[in-house]
Chains A and B, each alone.
Chain A
């Protein structure tokens, strides 16, 4: 799951070192330095990649890798 997310966030990251070490505790904004408009793009790309819909309430928590995985698994089940 982390690997799949890694491919999705790659175009938007601004910290290469943090990206190389990306793991469940990585924060999209504080660590990867993804800007918040691009974080909305990440959410759209996640929707496409997993064929799910992330409502705005779930999107509120899409700030780090572990939350993203939790939300994706929730929507897939």
Chain B
């Protein structure tokens, strides 16, 4: 199973006067401490956020409990980021007894995290789309998910359907066999991304 989340860093900035109150609502003390000690706290916040959000999506898939509860998800990041750092950082997110593995791709303009559990193979991709509506970015992300998954598995993309079940959970279904694969899509600002595991 997999969950993902992308943050367009150009859209994510908040007023300084508001920042402290925002942090108290989304980060636990250990994460706030990490921000204080970081040389790039502005991006580290959104790395933590995308870790929490991707883990939430995975957690929701298992427990079907909706809540706006970022402080119940605690992030542990293997390494720190500095201004100018671009690359991947692994980590984990703990919620109650559950532990989810995360992988964050961190760039100047966006952060994308995937959270996984018991996954053998996973595919993910990020797209940058300029000057289009949020719905267009979503459609393009779904199109790329279908195309990439069909290519990786030697399937006809016309036989793959993107659906959401009654709980709003996204799946990719293969018409001839009826197989369905849990997937996750995320879009924010100019960026869209998907993740699928099987």
Residues of A within 8 A of B (CB): 14, 30, 33, 35-37, 39-41, 43-44, 47, 56, 59-63
0 or 1 for each of B166-183: is its CB under 8 Å from A? (1 = yes): 001000000000000000
Cα distance, A77 to B75, chains bound together (Å): 36
Q: Kindly state the separation between the CA atoms of A39 and B25 in the bound complex, as whole angstroms.
A: 11
- Contacting pair B25 A43 (CB below 8 A): yes
Closest Cβ of chain A: how far from B126's Cβ, in Å? 17
| Minimum-distance CB pairs A-B, first 4 | A60-B67, A60-B69, A56-B71, A40-B25
Which residues in B have their C-beta under 8 angstroms from that of A35?
188
| Chain B residues near A39 (CB-CB < 8 A) | 68
Hey, which bits of chain B sit against chain A, CB under 8 A?
7, 12, 14, 18, 21-22, 25-26, 49, 53, 56, 66-71, 134, 168, 188
Task: Say whether B68 contacts A37, CB under 8 Å.
Answer: no
Q: Which chain B residues lie closer than 8 Å to A60 at the CB level? A: 67-69
A14 to B137, alpha carbons, bound, how many Å? 13
Q: Are A63 and B18 in contact (CB under 8 A)?
A: no
Residue among A14, A40, A47 making CB contact with B68, cutoff 8 Å: A40
Closest B residue by C-beta to A39: B68
A40→B49 CA distance, assembly (Å): 12
Residues of chain B within 8 A of A44, CB atoms compared: 18, 21-22, 25
